[in-house]
Structure 1
Amino acid sequence: MNAFYNKHGIGDVLLVQLQTETPEKIHPEQFGDVTLIKDGEGNIAGFNLFNASTYVELADGEKVELSEALVTELQNALAKNGVDYVLEVDLSPKFVVGFVEAKEKHPNADKLNICRVNVGSEELQIVCGAANVEQGQKVVVAKVGAIMPSGMLIKDAELRGVPSSGMICSAKELALPDAPEEKGILVLPEDAEIGSSFEVKA
């Protein structure tokens, strides 16, 4: 789940995205202050909460920080407007320290590598195009569902026929101050804790 709020730009409306993919066809349904956005199969892809500040405590900024308190407030807002839907939200950090367990050349692309990355709770297969990625490095991983500072949403993908779940990030992609202009992933110190959260300013 991702949530966006820009009172100055669009008014007192909280936009909540529940699916990583934007449906080709959408079917809105109105329930009081809630507009459900359904896809072609009738699944709820997201919803807009009007008069949001009367239901949820919000600071005016594009990306809204997810928390248990926010999920509870949203669940109550849905119930107050007659929407019978249970929010299932993954509150685990989306930017984490990963360890590159293995690296092999992509069979169909000279400049791509297939990396097996341990992020603590799981092991991810990530296709990476950075020339400086190596086995044994500690790196920053944007997991599926992460929103980059640029606004790009990280999704499961397939690069030249190989599945990739997440992205190994550069300092520039993470919008870190004094990020080098040279291309390449950010390599973290050896004492960085695998699976720990890496703070990224949206």
Structure 2
Amino acid sequence: MIFAYNPEYVGDTLLIVTNNDKGLPQKVTRKGKVARIQTEDQCTVGWNIFGISQLMALQDVGQVELSQQQIGLLNETIHEAGFTESLPEIEGPKFVVGYVKTCEAHQDSDHLSVTEVEVDQGKTLQIVCGAANIREGLKVVVAKPGAMLPDGTIIWSGELRGVQSYGMICSAKELRLSNASEKREILELPQDKSIGETLVV
């Protein structure tokens, strides 16, 4: 679940992304200060909460982090507007330190690799990566499904050349770090970084 706030460009509105719309046509149902966004198959993919500053103070611009208490307040607002749905619970940090446990060449590509990346206490994600410097044993920045990159791109689970990928291993350029290389290579982190450590992007 992603929360975004940019009053200069979209007004005093909190944008909430809850699911991947997969490029399907959308329909919007508005009740008062709340709008629900659904795809044509009735899947709710997002919400807009208008006049959000009257409900809570948001300090950041762009992607914002909300507390469980604030999410509870949003759910109250959604229900008071006449909707029966609720926002899902927060699943934890979206950008973490990962450890590349395995790295094998993709069977249907000359540049993709299929990796198993540990992201927290033995939990691993299969991630397809196209960087030339990806290899077993690296500590890397992992964007889990539902993460939003600094340029606004949202990372979803998907399939690359017939292989499922559950997230992305990030480059310095994708993270918009200063002096980032223009090469297609992932950011290699120091080995003393802790697996699963939350990273602020």
Give the TM-score of the pair, scaled to structure 2. Answer: 0.91
Q: Which amino acid aligns with 1:33?
A: K
Look up the equivalent residue of 1:156 and give its one-letter code.
Answer: S
Across the aligned residues of Structure 1 and Structure 2, the Cα RMSD in angstroms comes to 1.8
Q: CA separation in 1, counterparts of 2:56 and 2:120? A: 33
Give the aligned length: 200
1:21 deviation in Å? Answer: 2.3
Mean CA deviation greater in 26-35 or 95-104 = 26-35
The equivalent residue for 1:149 is 150
* Deviation digits for residues 126-178 of structure 1 (CA, Å, limit 9, x no counterpart): 11111111111111111111111121111112111111111111111111222
Q: Distance in 1 between matches of 2:38 and 2:181?
A: 43
Secondary structure of 2:53's aligned partner:
helix
* 2:95 corresponds to: 95
CA contact (8 A) 1:100 1:138 kept: yes
Partner of 1:37: 37
Structure 2 match to 1:6: 6
Tell me which amino acid in the other structure corresponds to 1:161. G
* Structure 1 residues 23 and 186: CA distance shift in structure 2, 3 A: closer
TM-superposed deviation, 1:19:
1.0
Correspondence 1:1-202 to 2 at 5 A? 1-21=1-21, 24-59=24-59, 61-121=61-121, 122-200=123-201
CA distance in 2, matches of 1:198, 1:44: 29
Identity of aligned residues (%): 41
Give me the whole-angstrom Cα distance separating, in 2, the residues matched to 1:59 and 1:80: 25
* Counterpart-to-counterpart distance in 2, 1:92 and 1:176: 23
Secondary structure in 1 matching 2:120: coil
Unaligned 5+ runs, structure 2: none
User: 1:102 corresponds to which letter in structure 2?
Assistant: T
1: distance between equivalents of 2:42 and 2:112? 38
| CA-CA distance at 1:41 after TM superposition | 2.7
Name the CA distance, whole Å, in 2 between partners of 1:23 and 1:132: 32
Following superposition, the deviation at residue 107 of structure 1 comes to 0.5
Unaligned residue ranges in structure 1 (runs of 5+): none
TM-score under structure 1 length normalisation: 0.90
> Which one-letter code corresponds to 1:117 in the other structure?
V
